[in-house]
């Protein structure tokens, strides 16, 4: 167990950040899932709208250090390609 004041504070901060990061990642996954469900249902306009809603969440995850930049770019690219490949 932590003994010094600074280590105890670091433990508290880490727990608080872990809770926030868990919520942020869950939010990102939810938005991406909505896009994938719309793609699976064949609803192109709904998928496009869901992608527009998911993009800022993914970018926010990158800026907060939750998602690596290239991983986020790859996810966005693949989702965009899947939507573009759908029949109109």
Q: How far apart are CA 6 and CA 54, in angstroms?
A: 38
Whether residue 29 is predicted with pLDDT greater than 70 in this model: the reply is yes
Contact call for residues 54 and 32 (beta carbons, < 8 A): yes
| DSSP code of residue 4 | S
**Tokens 């939810």 label which residue?**
30
Q: Counting beta carbons within 10 angstroms of the beta carbon of residue 51, is it exposed (0 to 12), middle (13 to 18) or buried (19 or more)?
A: buried
Kindly report the pTM of this predicted structure: 0.86
Mean pLDDT, rounded, of the chain: 95
């Amino acid at each position: 167990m932590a003994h010094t004041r600074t280590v105890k504070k670091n433990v508290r901060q880490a727990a608080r950040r872990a809770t926030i990061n868990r919520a942020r990642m869950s939010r990102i996954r939810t938005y991406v899932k909505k896009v994938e469900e719309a793609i699976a249902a064949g609803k192109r306009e709904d998928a496009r709208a869901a992608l527009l809603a998911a993009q800022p969440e993914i970018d926010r995850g990158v800026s907060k250090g939750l998602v690596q930049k290239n991983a986020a770019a790859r996810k966005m690219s693949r989702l965009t390609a899947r939507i573009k490949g759908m029949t109109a």
